[in-house]
Structure 1
Amino acid sequence: MSLTKEALQHIEQSHKTGTEVANGHALVIGDQFSLQDMEKYQDQRRRFRGKFSTKGLGDFTHYLGERAAAKTPVFIDRDDMAARCYLDIGSHEAPGHCDHAAILSLPKTPEFIAFHRANGNTFDQEGMVELLEDWGHLMTFANSKGEALELRKVIHAFRKVSIDDLTSIDSEKQEHSSQVGVMSKVTVKNAERLPATITWRLAPYEGLDERNLEMRVASLTKGGPGFRLRAMALDAAEQEIAGEFASRIEEALPELECLLGSFSP
């Protein structure tokens, strides 16, 4: 008995369908010979997979300390205050799948967020008073002479500040010319009661140490009393904060390989 071409193809497909491949971890099925992963039908996974994400520095280092093998690299991104580790990264000779990751994204504290919002901002009297009422417990104050000021008195001074507008016009007539000089001087009354600098004492990120951050206070007189706050040497301070972040991870995970940078598997 002879078989048609279609019958032979059917027998061939029937034979191949259900064939085990990949050491029994998958089957070839269907007319298109697609692969079916059999892992979900097994008692256990072939390997551990998962992603642990946290905002807690202590939780991140504890997780790795309990699970990561010695010399596993931890990639620390100082710019984003983040870190990442692939616990199954393997080696050059035996690379892993990078399916098991631990990720840290360190959040700013509410106090540091408030500091950044105030930096570069202009406040009227009411706005300055509200800022001090909300965050004054973190602040110390000094006037232009370097004298310390009390929070209660500083709030009172901002409430009572007023503007003097002194204008004088001097006119001088000469035989062949005339000159009119206009001098306008705007001053803030009781300036010595207002702070020239504000020092914030805060922890910038959760899990990091408290530190002092200074702001310069400038008085603005156009359109009424106003005040601009500007952080002093903030870039340098943030570099120090990033260095502390990296050091905390390195100190907590001495058996691992801590590297500055990022890695994409």
Structure 2
Amino acid sequence: MSMDKSAIEAIQAAQTVADLTLALKDAELKTPLAAVPDNFRLSSLEQYLPGRCRYRGTMETVALDDFTNYCEEFSAAGAACFVDPQKMTARSIFNLGDIVEPGHADFSAKLSLVKTAEYSALLDINGSRSNQKTMAEFLEDYQDSIVCYAADGEAIPNSKAIAAVRRLTIEASRREDHESQDFKASRSALESIEARSEHGLPAGFRFECTPYNGLNIRSFELRLSVLTGGDAPSLIARIKRLEAQQEEMGRELQEKLASAFSGTDIKTYIGSFAA
């Protein structure tokens, strides 16, 4: 009796599954696998076991202390921490392994520092045009963190600086020069506009705050200028050397993590890692 094509294929599939099952058994894998007759793909049976075959997953936090404590608890040989100073984030991979014995790199912890309210407010006002009311309210809200100073660097009481911002006087002057000769005539005009305040307008101020929870307090220098071109004066505060400050904060984060992990197997690097 002859067999049709489908019967022959079914017998071949059954034999192939039996051979694959025997091969998987001989391999002594930590994760149980079964061969199923669906294009002979391999399916994991881990989900049917009482527990996982190995520990893995990602822990995420915004707290520096919780991040370091968790990393210290799961520190292992071959673990590494990668710090991104631009984003103020860090990622520790515990089962990274090495070149000889590489790991799966799927057990990690991620730190994402969040700006404090004071630092966020400072960045919001940096470089933006503010009217007198907005700038005065900013100085009032954060006066405990602010020290205003005049053009010569002498400190100005905050109450006096706020009053100066609230009450500005715009003075305009114009000068014209005329010249007439036999064959030509010329005319030039020079107009100047100056903002003044009877209370003494500050040239800038220092703003002290903790930029990110877990980092040290920093002092930011701001230059204050007045624009007089519109219907009402506008004020602009700009942070001096902001990019340099941000680079220093990134290095500070890396140094704090390196110090926290000094007694562990975790090594710290500036950069990122993708498996």
State the TM-score, normalizing by the size of structure 2. Answer: 0.87
Per the TM alignment, residue 191 of structure 1 is displaced from its structure 2 partner at its CA by 6.8
Q: How does 1:32-43 map to 2 (within 5 A)?
A: 32-43=39-50
- SS across alignment from 1:246: helix
Match among 60, 63, 70 for residue 53 of structure 1? 60
Cα deviation, 1:19-56, whole Å, max 9, x if unaligned, reads: 63364711112353332211111122111111111111
Match among 193, 215, 231 for residue 200 of structure 2? 193
Unaligned runs of 5+ in 1: none
Per the TM alignment, residue 232 of structure 1 is displaced from its structure 2 partner at its CA by 0.9
Per the TM alignment, residue 180 of structure 1 is displaced from its structure 2 partner at its CA by 2.8
Contact 1:143–1:192 (8 Å) recurs in 2? no
C-alpha separation in 1, matches of 2:181 and 2:235? 43
Cα deviation, 1:133-157, whole Å, max 9, x if unaligned, reads: 3333321100112221122222211
What is the aligned partner in structure 2 of residue 27 from structure 1?
34
The amino acid of 1:252's aligned partner reads A
Cα deviation, 1:196-220, whole Å, max 9, x if unaligned, reads: 0111101111210111001101121
- SS across alignment from 1:193: coil
- SS across alignment from 1:90: coil
Match among 248, 251, 258 for residue 268 of structure 2? 258
C-alpha separation in 1, matches of 2:205 and 2:47? 61
- SS across alignment from 2:130: strand
What is the aligned partner in structure 2 of residue 249 from structure 1?
257
Contact 1:144–1:192 (8 Å) recurs in 2? no
**In the alignment, is residue 169 of structure 1 matched against residue 176 of structure 2?**
yes
Farther-moved stretch of structure 1 (107-116 vs 209-218):
107-116
What is the aligned partner in structure 2 of residue 86 from structure 1?
93
C-alpha separation in 2, matches of 1:191 and 1:170? 31
Q: Root-mean-square deviation (CA), in Å?
A: 2.3
Unaligned runs of 5+ in 2: none
What is the aligned partner in structure 1 of residue 238 from structure 2?
230
Contact 1:13–1:31 (8 Å) recurs in 2? no
State the TM-score, normalizing by the size of structure 1. Answer: 0.90
% identity of equivalent residues:
32
Q: How does 1:187-226 map to 2 (within 5 A)?
A: 187-190=194-197, 193-223=200-230, 224-226=232-234
